[in-house]
Amino acid sequence: MNEKWQARIAGAGAGLANGLFGGGGGMVFIPVMSRSKLRQQKLYATCVGVIFPICAVSAAIYFWRAELSIQTALPYLLGGLAGGLVGGKLYGKVSAKWLKWIFAAFLFYGGVKYLL
């Protein structure tokens, strides 16, 4: 299978994850994109750039179906914007090894919290 089809299938999987779970597309993209020749920091930045429009589409559908409360989401959005700003400033200053461990820790934590 060529790389373009692999990317399209990964995109469909990420979109499906975001639509069903309200997020999680990065869990699909990171493993698939890690096969590319991008260095780790660029890989994560590319993943964020790809996930953003997918999240926007999912949010729009949730909003259209009246299942998204802006008032409830706003505090999380503000915190997310602040965290994104800090993360963007740290871009390139954290080693690839640490990025992998931090990402794995977030996935593990989220998985455990989801099950409990």
The domains of the chain are located at 3-115
**Residue 86: is its pLDDT beyond 80?**
yes
pTM of structure = 0.62
Residue 22 has what pLDDT? 67
The pLDDT of residue 82 is 92
Which residue do the tokens 């997020």 mark? 23
pLDDT (tens digit per residue) in 21-50: 767 777 777 777 777 777 777 887 888 888
Q: Mean pLDDT, to the nearest integer, of 41-65? A: 83
pLDDT beyond 70 at 96: yes
The answer to whether 17 and 59 are in contact (CB under 8 A) is: no
